[in-house]
Amino acid sequence: MRVLVALFATLALATPTMAGEIVGFQPGKPAAPVLQQTKLRAVIADFLDPGGSGMGNAISLIIWREVLTAIADQAGAGVILAKAPGNRPLVDLLQERYHEAALDAARSQAARMAVWGSVEEHDGRLFVSTYLSIIPDARSAELMLRLEGQPPLGADVAAEIPHSRLNLPLVETKRQSLLQRSVVMRNGAVIRKRPDSRAAEVTRPAVGSALEVSDLVDGWFKVDVPNLGPGYVHHSVVDVPPQLVDVRGATTRLSSAPGGRAGSPVPPGSYRVVNMRYAGGSGLSYEIAVSGARGWVLATAVRPRFSLPVVHLVAGLYRYQLGRYAEARGEFEQYLASPGVDTDNASLAMVYQLLGASQVVGKDALSLRSASAPPIEAFTRAIELTPYDPAAYNLRAVAVLALRGRLGEMLPDLAKATDLDPDNPRARSLITLLNRVTTTGEPSGLRRLVADANDRQVRDEVARLARRADGPSQ
């Protein structure tokens, strides 16, 4: 019997289009829908900037452009930037309705995710607060970890990943650190003397050439042009690579051209990205600086590191819902490797749950059982972070059943879930189902999955939990 672990979102995604768009951001006036050809959308709202640092617009634009880069290979994905009209300060426009307005903007675009936040500047340092909301109105059910089988299990064996709003870590950085990067020229890129489309031209750089950024003003990157000095190029005519890439193994090798023949190995570490390019047959490559030299590495051989942790989380959720589970796992791991992400236990627990699900989802659970260390550690870490959340125990119980096929190992988690919430519907449903399996052998598909359904001690414990689940709540 082949048992698959499946992650269910609410829509099937199959449109081969990825795009970005900017819409107006006004309370009570939803913007006309855009990117309707895409099936999965997120809205990045202009960040509040109560102190007038000038970085609110810049941070939201950077997040938007980096998310576009992160999911450039994802068919059916779109990213929308919601901006205040005429660069009017959002603090004046929205006042205390900012969160509601950000969600309204997302709902008006039928988006599943909304990213919003604020930035403040003190003594030359920036403090960036970021939030991610999963829009309830845009989904018909929770994200779920569910078991499937061939032949079918004959029952719904699933657990929800329940959180819908994440408070991401406060990021402390400097303006220069956030903006320091390269941008890559597209067709039509023009360098101008001032951040104004009517300003005089400095030069028209070659397509695919990269320039170093020193600032971002009203959507214009300030760049340093060799032999000509500073100038400004609009964000719409450049690509925005990640600031860094991480090399973790010993198999990554440099080449002299994108997609070219592999040469010398790259030692593990983090490297600055100076260019990026797509090459037919090999996909995306990054040009990196290694010990004073430059060379190209395949994007599939490295992990990008974006400027703010939220980019990795959003990119992971895109890939997760689009069925790219191994890549989603990489993004969640990059998020967890970001400094200071341990400041909100509930949000961190959800990321560990997503990581755990991406490790097992869509795979043959029976083959996973042969692994020396089945990947339930992420679910355990989530429980450690949120020990009073019944959903965390339900998730681990379902994962344990998928990976080990033993009721006796999942029963303690279901018992804990019902201890915390006697009316928890998912735990009660799972206990009732397991009682059927141990007493009647039905459904037969699920019965074939488990190895200890006839163990007397297991049957007695299941029966005890079932009696408690059927009884009145305490």
CB atoms within 10 A of CB 87: 12
The residue type of 22 is I
Which is it for strands 40-45 and 77-83: parallel, antiparallel or unpaired?
A: parallel
Distance CA 62, CA 56 (A): 10
CA of residue 8 relative to chain centroid, distance: 16
Peptide bond into 162 cis (omega under 30): no
CATH number at 181-239: 2.30.30.40
* 99 burial level (CB within 10 Å; 0-12, 13-18, 19+): middle
Fold for domain 369-474? 1.25.40
Domains 181-239 and 369-474 share a fold: no
Cα–Cα distance measured from residue 413 to residue 411, given in angstroms and rounded to the nearest whole number: 5
Beta strands in 301-422 (DSSP E): 303-305
Q: Where are the domains of the chain?
A: 2-172, 181-239, 244-305, 369-474
CA torsion, points 202, 208, 209, 210, in degrees to nearest 10? 100
Q: What does each of the 474 residues of the chain score in pLDDT, given as a tens digit?
A: 444 444 433 322 222 334 788 887 766 676 788 888 888 899 999 898 888 888 888 999 999 999 999 988 888 889 999 887 766 666 566 656 778 888 888 888 989 999 999 999 888 899 999 999 988 654 444 678 888 776 788 888 899 888 778 889 899 999 888 998 999 999 999 999 999 999 999 999 999 999 999 999 989 999 999 999 999 999 999 999 999 999 987 778 888 888 887 788 889 999 999 999 988 777 889 999 998 889 999 988 899 999 999 999 999 999 988 888 888 999 999 999 998 888 888 899 999 999 998 888 765 554 555 554 457 899 999 999 999 999 999 999 999 998 888 999 999 999 999 999 999 999 999 999 999 999 999 999 889 888 899 999 999 999 999 998 776 544
Its pTM stands at 0.89
| C-beta of residue 243 within 8 angstroms of C-beta of residue 179 | no
Burial of 366 (0-12, 13-18, 19+ CB in 10 A): middle
